[in-house]
Amino acid sequence: MTTHILAIDDSRTIRNLLTMTLEKAGFAVTTAVDGVDGVQKFREEHADLVITDVNMPNKDGFGVITDIRAGDKNRAVPVLVLTTESGAALKERARKAGATGWIVKPFDDEALVSVIKRLTGADNGA
Amino acid sequence: MAHDPSILDTFFEECEDLIVALTEGLVDMREGRADDETVNAVFRAVHSIKGAAGAFALDDLVGFAHKFETVLDEVRSHRLEIEERLLRTLQRAGDILANLVDDARDQTPANRELVDPVLAELQSFLGSEQDSPAEDFVFEAMTLDFSGSSDAPTTYELQFTPGREFYTCGHDPLLLITALQEIGPIEVTVDTTKLPNTFTDFHWDDGYLKWTVKVSGPATDLPMREVFQFVDDLCDLKIMTLDDTGAQIDPTDQAIDHIIEALQEPSITVPVPAMEAAQKEESADRPIKKVATTLRVDPERVDRLINAVGELIINQSVISQRLQEADLPNSAELFSDLDDYKLLAREIQEGVMAIRAQPVKPLFQRMLRIAREAADAVAKDIAIITEGESTEVDKTVVERLADPLTHMIRNAIDHGIETPEARIATGKPRQGTLRLSASQRSGSIVIEIADDGAGLNRPRIRELAIKKGLIPDDAALSDQEIDHLLFAPGFSTAAEVTNLSGRGVGMDVVKTAITALGGRIAINTVPERGTTFSITLPLTLAVMDGMIINVSGQTMVVPIASILETIRPSQADLSKIGLKGELLRIRGEYVPIIDLADKLGHQTDGRPMTERVLLLIQTESIAQCALAVDDIFDQRQVVVKSMQSNYGEIVGVSGATILGDGKIALIIDPDAIASDTGTLTHVPPKTDGGRSYVAA
């Protein structure tokens, strides 16, 4: 079964990068351009994992996680926060919002894929 | 990291948009509209550039954006007060950021002389302790190195009790255990004593289970720490090493299978309480803002389409002509249908052309930056105004206008606008004004660069031109002709190079660039009131209105744009000069006649001038002239085909087209033909080296 990933980022470049990296690794990728779009896509489509940027117009990444966790559908989905920040403060905030994990930009392709595989149980041993 | 060039292209395109957003936000802030949303938008723009630039290891850009972003973050969180100095610094930082993006795109090294002072200025708003180190951008390494361990395999025991947050954050113990299994053989036990006795007491996200996993094999605890990377503090993780005696481990696949069964059941069947309140709240969300979607298309595809539409139009005129020649009976309806066809074809053409059209806004904003830097460099107080930013121009035009505009703006600031002192002395406001505007006027785009400076110094220009041998000492020149000397190659020399405008291009290069785009440039200068340069460009480069002419039996096309009028001269209008030269007298002035056939090396049939047609041509180089041709046929839109790639450049011929009868016709470049007359327009061959012009 193909693992579906919803990638939310307002940066076209990052969206393209994520799509390319993840599709190459065999995932199916849906992208959304901001928080509101992301939450809507999450409700409409199936996602095995969500990757979201933090700083976005309309609704930020923490808002996205809050909405997902408060919703009916698939509320325990793993959500990875993509951020340029690192450190304890971020971890604290991400955790509070209900993030499953975080990836610091610029992300390393292989590390990202391995984290996703681990969090989704996809394609083990591949 | 990914280095796919198409993604890099996307990045630079996106940067362009982000820089526009950034610039707009900074203008808003400057004008007192520094509300949270505005500051946030500015922050986001810088943040996005930084984030994406990191992916391409554009270190200069990332480093600068980081500092910029840090200051903006302080502003955003109201820890920094918005005041004049801060606004100025942010403005400057915006300019530098845009420069760095350009540098990254052009793969030129960043100009540290410009960047570093602004970095220092930004830093001055931050306490030294806020200077977060570059480690911030380094991915928290999860790469593992097993190679160094020659030690005997160790056995680790992990204990973890997932708490409520563990589950609500989307983690799953099964996945952790599966991941541990990849590290080495494992043995799993689960303590279920805390499970509630009744189902109603059960909450799916409560931590009832305590897991103990023995992992044998790894030399360090690193791989296990990696597995628990996000959850070490959510599940009370303990990792211990066991000595050899504690570890007699069974193959554990079966154990895992048991756990899978045990786990799957509750997680599926436990009903999740409906969250109506939350749902209501969500449906009351403000209406979702429609996201402007754009379609990014390879320009080559659009060009192919433009070409095909061009062919369609040619094809239409071929059919039209054939039908007329066939002289069919009852053809009225046929021709009316054909007219519809023609209209449709034109409509498609316009639609396709519109795809290539782009607003001049990003170009103008770049120019704003350049103007600000230029004004700073010469310490002049200049208000820079842009108008008509939404005017759309062919993409190629936008791209190729950047250099000429840059040059003209620098000139206007360097030479055109006076120093504040000089302005005050002549009763002008201290602050000079530079206006950059774009508008569409009857099928053309007009771009104007207007300053309110001293105007061109005509006596000085004349003097310089004589000194450089461009004109004879006693040349009688109109004001307009003197102004146009600015565009003569060799007019500006290194002697007048200043820091700012002496960048190795003269106004002749500007003019060449504009002409290459099928445009014209005009100067309007009023002493003490200022100078306006007007660039007139065709809406599209691919199609042009042409006059079909005949020269010695050859059918050719002359651009309508450059024809002022067509004249059938009477003998009284003509005067001989020298052996071969002829002049046309028109409204009291004499205009040289250029025999196009002669010029192109055709045999002239000796027809007297009175039986030929003269095209009065406005040339950019110096003045008017009259092109003598044998016949004119009609005006027609022609599709311009470049000959450069297939044949090379021919002076005097700007391209070729296919006519209605299927024949190929060359398109004449009147300007190139006229500027080779050997009279006033004669110019010495181009020399290398810096040029600029002197206006004041």
The minimum CA-CA distance between A45 and chain B, rounded to whole Å, is 17
The minimum CA-CA distance between A63 and chain B, rounded to whole Å, is 12
The answer, yes or no, to whether residue B467 has pLDDT greater than 50, is yes
Continuous H helices in B77-110: 84-106
Contact list in A for residue B143 (CB cut-off 8 A) is: 108, 111
Q: Which of B14, B140, B165 sits opposite A12 (nearest CB)?
A: B14
Q: What is the pLDDT of residue B245?
A: 52
| Pairwise CB contact (< 8 Å): A125 & B182 | yes
The minimum CA-CA distance between B384 and chain A, rounded to whole Å, is 30
Arithmetic mean of pLDDT, A113-119: 88
Q: Quote the distance between the C-alpha of residue A53 and its chain's center.
A: 7
Helix (H, G, I), strand (E, B) or coil at A90: helix
Q: What is the pLDDT of residue A31?
A: 93
Q: Which of B44, B55, B136 sits opposite A57 (nearest CB)?
A: B44
The answer, yes or no, to whether residue B269 has pLDDT greater than 70, is no
Scanning every residue of chain A, which has its alpha carbon at the shortest distance from the alpha carbon of B2?
A17
Q: What is the pLDDT of residue B3?
A: 55
Give tens-digit pLDDT for B154-190: 788 888 888 888 888 888 888 888 888 888 888 888 8
Q: What is the pLDDT of residue B217?
A: 75
A8 — pLDDT class (breaks 50, 70, 90): very high
Q: Which of B4, B179, B272 sits opposite A118 (nearest CB)?
A: B179
Q: What is the pLDDT of residue B141?
A: 38
Better-scored residue on pLDDT, B277 or B691: B277
The answer, yes or no, to whether residue B550 has pLDDT greater than 80, is yes
C-alpha torsion sign, points B620, B626, B627, B629: positive
Interhelix angle A109-120/B173-183, rounded to 10 degrees, is 120
Nearest to B180 by CA among B207, B217, B208: B217
Give me the total of CB pairs closer than 8 Å, taking one residue from chain A and one from chain B: 139
Better-scored residue on pLDDT, B370 or A88: B370
Contact list in B for residue A53 (CB cut-off 8 A) is: 51
| Top-ranked range on mean pLDDT: pick from B257-266, B268-277, B516-525 | B516-525
| Pairwise CB contact (< 8 Å): A57 & B10 | no
Q: What is the pLDDT of residue B266?
A: 41
The answer, yes or no, to whether residue B647 has pLDDT greater than 50, is yes
B136 — pLDDT class (breaks 50, 70, 90): very low
| Pairwise CB contact (< 8 Å): B139 & A104 | yes
Scanning every residue of chain A, which has its alpha carbon at the shortest distance from the alpha carbon of B178?
A121
**What DSSP assignment string belongs to B445-473?**
EEEEEEE-S----HHHHHHHHHHTTSS-T
Q: Contact at 8 Å (CB) between B398 and B358?
A: yes
Average pLDDT, rounded, for chain A:
85
| Pairwise CB contact (< 8 Å): B139 & A111 | yes
DSSP classification of residue B515: H
Q: Which of B55, B229, B285 sits opposite A17 (nearest CB)?
A: B55
Contact list in A for residue B137 (CB cut-off 8 A) is: 84, 104-106
Q: Which of A16, A33, A56 sits opposite B10 (nearest CB)?
A: A16
With pLDDT > 70 as the criterion, what percentage of chain B qualifies? 80
Q: What is the pLDDT of residue B621?
A: 54
Q: What is the pLDDT of residue B59?
A: 86
The minimum CA-CA distance between B65 and chain A, rounded to whole Å, is 12
CA angle B110, B114, B116 (to 5 degrees): 85
Query: B318: Cβ–Cβ under 8 A, 6 or more apart, which residues?
Result: B660, B661, B662
Contact list in B for residue A92 (CB cut-off 8 A) is: none
Interface subset of A 30-69, CB within 8 angstroms of B: 33-34, 36-37, 40, 53, 55-58, 67, 69
| Pairwise CB contact (< 8 Å): B275 & A119 | no
Q: What is the pLDDT of residue B690?
A: 34
Q: What is the pLDDT of residue B152?
A: 56
Q: What is the pLDDT of residue B502?
A: 42
Q: Quote the distance between the C-alpha of residue B612 and its chain's center.
A: 48
Q: Quote the distance between the C-alpha of residue B194 and its chain's center.
A: 64
The answer, yes or no, to whether residue B442 has pLDDT greater than 70, is no
Count other Cβ atoms within 10 Å, centred on residue B316. Answer: 17
A111 touches B at CB < 8 Å: yes
Count other Cβ atoms within 10 Å, centred on residue B319. Answer: 14
Q: How far apart are CA B604 and CA B609, in angstroms?
A: 11
First to last CA, chain B: 53
With pLDDT > 90 as the criterion, what percentage of chain B qualifies? 5
Where are any strands of DSSP class E within B72-199? 155-160, 186-191
Cis bond upstream, residue B429 (ω within 30): no
B91-100, B165-174, B534-543: the lowest-pLDDT one: B534-543
Q: What is the pLDDT of residue B433?
A: 93
Better-scored residue on pLDDT, B580 or B460: B460
Give tens-digit pLDDT for B202-215: 777 777 888 888 88
Q: How far apart are CA B630 and CA A35, in angstroms?
A: 69
Nearest to B62 by CA among B142, B132, B126, B125: B132
Q: Which of A40, A72, A124 sits opposite B275 (nearest CB)?
A: A72
Give tens-digit pLDDT for B332-347: 888 888 888 888 887 8
Q: What is the pLDDT of residue B634?
A: 81
Helix (H, G, I), strand (E, B) or coil at B649: coil
Q: What is the pLDDT of residue B610?
A: 84
Q: How far apart are CA A92 and CA A102, in angstroms?
A: 11
| Pairwise CB contact (< 8 Å): B227 & A106 | no
Average pLDDT, rounded, for chain B:
77
B218-232, B245-259, B511-525: the lowest-pLDDT one: B245-259
The answer, yes or no, to whether residue A126 has pLDDT greater than 60, is no
* Strand ranges across the sheet with B155-160: B186-191, B210-216, B155-160, B238-242
